[in-house]
Structure 1
């Protein structure tokens, strides 16, 4: 494919990414020795510097999948694919492997839309893929990069409805984004994001399949349920969209993330649910680390606030500055107001994605250059206030502390003679 929304086509030249050849069966087998069978095997979707591609283009993909299954008998295998290379025989093979879940990046259910968005020359084959998965009983989740400014709102609506009719367990709708290097055709007015959220809210009233908007609009931290997957522990227990989780056994979750994780890791949890003005108790018949079927928007893990407090105490800081993205800033501010009980003065500073520009607002795409620009402006306007500790989002850095341009977060510490840590 040649997806018009591929982020790598909009990267500034100094972004440090790489391509690697398909890994051999021997290399894959060696990798499996380091993996934990308690967690799903994920193929084709990760956050790394490696420019990935379609898993089913690998010449030995079927042999590799069998190798994985032989090593991890009862482990779920999750595969992200655009569906273009999945035919009847391959889908039958996936069913025979057992415990395979497909994340299908359909993006458009029309030949014209697939061709425009993805350069798909055999779009009809891709469009049949959800029907094949349904026919052979292979569970799948659908995903759509929402670009109504290119394909129109009707195409987007038909694609989401089609995925729902074909039995998608959930449908993720990714809001579009573009960098300063994007061609004019890919750019859009900021108002389109609000229109998308309203469009999805209206569709939720007509479609029972949980629709997940990424990134979500987070206005509070209440652990409210956004959707329930059919024929799952949560679905069979009668949990409904809009229910509020008050307790998981004896734990009172503070956020959606905490509630979701508590349910996931608990065997046979009893949930106290608030539905309208009543509280009810619901038992979920599930194992520990088994999916509950609950769908919840991602907000924040309260453990992050605990980590912030630990770093402040360890560094004996009295004035701390948390630098984060436009998306995360409001959520972190809400969490600090509700959960932080320390004595240090904390300020949150939003660093804008000037390096990528355009509509980019994600923490994982911030660079040291962005942090320096934001910090310079802050220190100039801070009337003499100077933090003795700066905390940066770990998502912006690799395991060696380097951003996407290869610069270390320690460059910031040296430039301003300040203590800098990542979270």
Structure 2
């Protein structure tokens, strides 16, 4: 791929997600890093440390109303450790000078955040750190991340707390390697150091992962049980990923202290009945409506009690509510819109293993169209292992799923097949650089993405 194509990916991420890649360089060798488990044909791209001029150009495509996101690998650009960038202080000052009141959100492994750097972040103002600690023990962090200065890195949350730089912690849970006690200790340590939230993530591994990294199916339910127990002990909101979504009720998973929600006597387990007298259909809809609304009035149900609370906040200011991600009802509206535009009576929706149950629940509850819709859950055979996310599905996975469906249902021919947009880039290509349009030609049906 030439430099212009890489730049197109960068600018697309800037426009659509306020994403600012700085470098692909990383000073750790995390054993769970997905980049080492990718098949050779996967199209992801490394970048050298970007110049101030390149960063300034990217900033010109961003929206100052939303946080600038640094260091989070959510596009085809591999993002490394931001603080390895040789000009990181000047780069961050450039961002602050350009967007004076905008939050700067930085994902980091914390190894390079010494006291001087943390003081600089505090001086910049409105910096939020997403700290990938993963283990609060020297042995655990050295094993999981290859950290040769683990003791120093583990002190990072203390520095952030002392200098009042807000941060969120994350733990990639690998109890089969470090033990459950290490996972539990790390979560408690982050809570004691003042993390606003803590994400506990079960890592995915591909078919190319070494046997030592693979784990059995019992780990996820055990992890969820641990998180459930710790939620009763700790005030810090804990987020387990992937979440266990059993329904679409907009129930609150946690509340961040010192936020509008924290000051409004909202508690974990409360159910949001309405936002400004409108009933939200899902967690995502409730969260988004509260985020974009100034001083929203919420009707809350707690046990048999119902009450109204007002959140003293501005539009697009965070509320402090923490909720598991389920589904945006607009997706069902989009499905209906495409069906009506295409004028079809039979549609097939292909989705991932993780999203399948939620998609089925949402269609059953919210879809009111006349067309017959069937859902096919697509296994990720290309990456294999424990990978179940939509963003890692490929054209080959969809081809196999469609072939199996047509063999099992020879009398049912869809006029429209809908694919998850997360599997494709802005050009409609998957991680192996194949276009979704190739599927339509192969199966003689209309293909669309959402």
TM-score range, shorter chain: over 0.9
Q: Say if 2:362 is the partner of 1:345.
A: no
Match of 1:323 among 347, 350, 358: 350
Q: Indicate the SS of the match to 1:48.
A: coil
Q: Say if 2:160 is the partner of 1:130.
A: no
Gaps of 5+ in 1: none
Query: How far is 1:39 from its partner?
Result: 0.4
**Aligned positions of 1:195-206 closer than 5 A:** 195-206=222-233
Q: Say if 2:27 is the partner of 1:35.
A: no
User: 2 CA distance for matches of 1:87 and 1:215?
Assistant: 32
Q: Indicate the SS of the match to 1:156.
A: helix
Query: How far is 1:92 from its partner?
Result: 0.4
Counterpart in the other structure of 2:48:
21
**Aligned positions of 1:273-288 closer than 5 A:** 273-288=300-315
Counterpart in the other structure of 1:370:
397
Q: 1:206-238: per-residue Cα shift (whole Å, max 9, x none)?
A: 111000011111000000000000000000001
Q: 1:225-282: per-residue Cα shift (whole Å, max 9, x none)?
A: 0000000000000100000001110221000000000000000010000110111000
Counterpart in the other structure of 1:239:
266
User: 2 CA distance for matches of 1:250 and 1:315?
Assistant: 35
Q: Say if 2:28 is the partner of 1:6.
A: no
Counterpart in the other structure of 1:88:
115
User: 1 CA distance for matches of 2:218 and 2:438?
Assistant: 37
User: 2 CA distance for matches of 1:280 and 1:67?
Assistant: 46
Q: Indicate the SS of the match to 1:224.
A: coil
Match of 2:106 among 76, 79, 82: 79
Q: Say if 2:194 is the partner of 1:167.
A: yes
User: 2 CA distance for matches of 1:146 and 1:239?
Assistant: 29
Query: How far is 1:329 from its partner?
Result: 0.5
Q: Say if 2:126 is the partner of 1:99.
A: yes
User: 1 CA distance for matches of 2:375 and 2:351?
Assistant: 7
Q: Indicate the SS of the match to 1:205.
A: helix
**Aligned positions of 1:59-78 closer than 5 A:** 59-78=86-105
User: 1 CA distance for matches of 2:275 and 2:313?
Assistant: 13
Q: 1:129-178: per-residue Cα shift (whole Å, max 9, x none)?
A: 00000000000000000000000000000000000000000000111211
Counterpart in the other structure of 2:448:
421
Q: Say if 2:137 is the partner of 1:110.
A: yes
User: 2 CA distance for matches of 1:237 and 1:388?
Assistant: 50
Deviates more, 1:337-346 or 1:28-37: 28-37
Q: 1:171-205: per-residue Cα shift (whole Å, max 9, x none)?
A: 00111211100001001111111111111111111
Q: Indicate the SS of the match to 1:75.
A: coil
User: 1 CA distance for matches of 2:201 and 2:247?
Assistant: 21
User: 1 CA distance for matches of 2:70 and 2:405?
Assistant: 42
Q: Say if 2:255 is the partner of 1:222.
A: no
Q: Indicate the SS of the match to 2:233.
A: coil
Counterpart in the other structure of 2:419:
392
Q: 1:339-382: per-residue Cα shift (whole Å, max 9, x none)?
A: 00000000000110000001110000000000010110110010
Query: How far is 1:18 from its partner?
Result: 1.4
Q: Indicate the SS of the match to 1:247.
A: strand
Q: Indicate the SS of the match to 1:101.
A: strand
Q: Say if 2:334 is the partner of 1:311.
A: no
Q: Indicate the SS of the match to 1:91.
A: helix
Query: How far is 1:383 from its partner?
Result: 3.4
Q: Indicate the SS of the match to 2:74.
A: coil
Counterpart in the other structure of 1:293:
320
**Aligned positions of 1:141-152 closer than 5 A:** 141-152=168-179
Q: 1:64-120: per-residue Cα shift (whole Å, max 9, x none)?
A: 111111111111110000000010000000001111100000000011001100000
Deviates more, 1:199-208 or 1:260-269: 199-208
Counterpart in the other structure of 2:388:
361
User: 2 CA distance for matches of 1:204 and 1:312?
Assistant: 43
User: 1 CA distance for matches of 2:317 and 2:227?
Assistant: 28
Counterpart in the other structure of 1:269:
296
